[in-house]
């Protein structure tokens, strides 16, 4: 049955007397509380102008542990707020091309235009088309006319299909569209790329067939710079096991290496760069381009396992020579490795040290790499893992439960020569999906980490016992500030009980050099708020780039 959109005229709006702002870091501006229907809540800011903010709402899950995309299951709405966070207009997004339903791919802002991206399949040929349609910023309605951006030829592939992905350049002047081509068994991997300007004029288009099987190459990240040069970061596996699957390690050694496939001069020049390292297991990598268009690669490495980390690395690929001219690997200090560790983890580290084995941190994933103005980087990671339990239900049956853990946050600042400037560990212990984890914003030369915490744990001595985050009434939306020297201070932003709502950190987004939109939710009621950070520096330009 077709889902009918509830007009904004009938939207029930709730007013709340929110808690007093307790932080000296930022001022908080609360919007009105609105009822959340059918699980459709704020997801991200998709555009803004001098008058309004444009916010996407959806019932897509906050975390999705599956790679399966159930396109028809999800619903999307576009909302227009003024900068005082008053809801002005809301409309359902129902992608439609030539009178036929299409699948939602995303919304991007190019100059002052909002563009809806959707895909549809030709029933005769199975070819998949990516379409672009402009959204009227006043009515929030989508134009019926569309522009065809890309086509994936799928005729002859009965069960395999391609897909689209896209990313904007840092200044939002270029749209990079990537598409995966379907391949038959034992065929070499292949993909294609388009780069468009803000008027959706195609600057260049290339298709590439790689010299290895598609099951051996995994695309990890895409990057397009402000000049339209595109980079594809991938992980190339060396061997399969007896079942035809790839694994991160084989016979104790890394079973993969990273490759960066770069396209310059509007796609005319291709450079396939293998990241060569010795005696190190690179468990993750992210890439950025600096002002000189050098490629900066950074992440964590290990000598044990794919999710353990022993230290941080920094590599720079020179834009002119295409060679790696800086390569640095820095082990973490013993103090950092033991900081925030449980008694059990400390005993484990001690046993490793006694046996002469490497001490490493476990289960950390990089979430963000922030490029500094001087060419250095800041890596932000979180300790994430899941635990599964099987319990008896008392009737001879069993049930399985999985708990997701979001613990300590690791922040590492690297200089432009790859040396470690400082490293900090923010201890926290959280479980569950909705209110756990964190977000990070770069404001001037400082970082701000937003997460939920018990106030007793803020700025505590290392020897003090950590107070478990239990019972939402004792939760606080918390900001931890880290300055350019690594000095750290935490403050309560607001108390969840007093506010009557709980912050969802992962749905926060930086919208300007000193503003963040945050989203808060409890008992089917959601509230948008804006944080405006106070200026501390006389600099005209931030020293970090989010």
Copy the structure tokens of residue 100: 């036929």
pLDDT at 10: 35
pLDDT at 13: 39
Provide the 8-state DSSP code for 210: E
* Angle, vertex CA 200, rays to CA 199 and CA 204, nearest 5: 125
- Dihedral in degrees, nearest 10, Cα atoms 246, 360, 324, 267: 40
At residue 214, the 3 state secondary structure works out as helix
pLDDT at 224: 97
Residue 190 to residues 203, 209, 224: CA-CA distances in angstroms?
21, 4, 19
Residue 530 to residues 33, 81, 84, 85, 271: CA-CA distances in angstroms?
13, 12, 9, 8, 43
At residue 357, the 3 state secondary structure works out as coil
* Angle, vertex CA 233, rays to CA 231 and CA 238, nearest 5: 140
Question: pTM, whole model, 2 decimals?
Answer: 0.89
For the ranges 18-22, 195-199, 445-449, the lowest mean pLDDT is seen at 18-22
For the ranges 97-106, 151-160, 213-222, 496-505, the lowest mean pLDDT is seen at 151-160
pLDDT at 354: 63
At residue 188, the 3 state secondary structure works out as strand
**CA–CA gap between residue 153 and residue 97 (Å, rounded):** 18
The C-alpha R_g of the chain, in whole angstroms, comes to 24
pLDDT in tens, 470-486: 788 889 999 999 999 99
pLDDT in tens, 242-287: 677 777 776 667 788 899 999 999 999 999 999 878 778 898 899 9
Residue 258 to residues 275, 312, 358, 405: CA-CA distances in angstroms?
5, 16, 23, 28
Nearest to 278 by CA among 246, 305, 253, 249: 253
Nearest to 413 by CA among 482, 481, 364: 482
**CA–CA gap between residue 4 and residue 241 (Å, rounded):** 50
């Amino acid at each position: 049955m077709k889902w009918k959109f509830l007009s904004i005229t009938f939207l029930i709006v709730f007013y709340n007397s929110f808690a007093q702002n307790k932080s000296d870091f930022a001022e908080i501006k609360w919007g009105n509380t609105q009822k959340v229907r059918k699980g459709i809540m704020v997801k991200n800011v998709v555009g803004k102008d001098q008058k309004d903010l444009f916010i996407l709402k959806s019932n897509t899950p906050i975390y999705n542990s599956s790679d399966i995309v159930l396109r028809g299951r999800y619903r999307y709405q576009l909302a227009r707020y003024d900068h005082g966070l008053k809801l002005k207009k809301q409309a359902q997004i129902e992608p439609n091309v030539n009178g036929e339903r299409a699948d939602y791919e995303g919304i991007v802002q190019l100059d002052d235009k909002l563009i809806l991206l959707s895909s549809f399949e030709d029933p005769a040929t199975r070819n998949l088309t990516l379409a672009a349609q402009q959204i009227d910023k006043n009515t929030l309605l989508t134009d019926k006319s569309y522009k065809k951006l890309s086509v994936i030829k799928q005729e002859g592939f009965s069960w395999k299909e391609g897909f689209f992905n896209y990313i904007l350049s840092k200044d939002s002047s270029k749209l990079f569209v990537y598409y995966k081509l379907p391949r038959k068994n034992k065929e070499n991997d292949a993909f294609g790329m388009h780069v468009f300007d803000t008027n959706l004029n195609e600057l260049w288009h290339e298709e590439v067939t790689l010299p290895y099987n598609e099951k051996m190459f995994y695309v990890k990240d895409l990057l397009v710079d402000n000049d339209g040069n595109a980079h594809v970061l991938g992980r190339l596996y060396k061997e399969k096991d007896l079942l035809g699957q790839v694994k991160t390690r084989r016979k104790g050694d890394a079973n993969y290496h990273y490759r960066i496939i770069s396209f310059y001069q509007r796609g005319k020049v291709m450079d396939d760069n293998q990241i060569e390292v010795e005696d190190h297991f690179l468990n993750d990598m992210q890439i950025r381009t600096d002002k000189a268009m050098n490629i900066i690669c950074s992440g964590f490495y290990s000598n044990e396992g794919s999710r353990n980390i022993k230290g941080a690395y920094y590599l720079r690929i020179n834009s002119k020579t295409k060679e790696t001219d800086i390569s640095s690997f820095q082990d973490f200090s013993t103090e950092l490795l033991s900081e925030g560790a449980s008694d059990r983890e400390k005993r484990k580290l001690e046993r490793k040290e006694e046996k002469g084995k490497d001490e490493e941190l476990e289960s950390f994933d990089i979430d963000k790499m922030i490029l500094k103005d001087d060419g250095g980087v800041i890596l932000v990671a979180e300790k994430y893992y899941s635990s599964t339990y099987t319990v008896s239900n008392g009737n001879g049956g069993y049930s399985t439960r999985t708990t997701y853990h979001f613990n300590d946050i690791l922040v590492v600042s690297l200089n432009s020569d790859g040396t470690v400037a400082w490293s900090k560990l923010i201890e926290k212990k959280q479980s569950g999906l909705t209110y756990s984890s964190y977000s990070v914003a770069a404001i001037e030369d400082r970082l701000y980490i937003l997460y939920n915490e018990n106030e007793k744990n803020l700025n505590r001595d290392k020897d003090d016992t950590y107070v478990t985050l239990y019972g939402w009434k004792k939760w606080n939306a918390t900001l931890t500030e880290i300055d350019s020297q690594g000095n750290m201070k935490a403050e309560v932003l607001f108390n969840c009980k007093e506010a009557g709502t709980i912050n969802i950190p992962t749905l926060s987004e930086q919208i300007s050099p000193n503003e963040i939109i945050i989203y808060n939710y409890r008992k089917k009621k959601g509230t948008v708020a804006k944080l405006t950070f106070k200026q501390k520096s006389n600099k005209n330009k931030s020293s970090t780039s989010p």
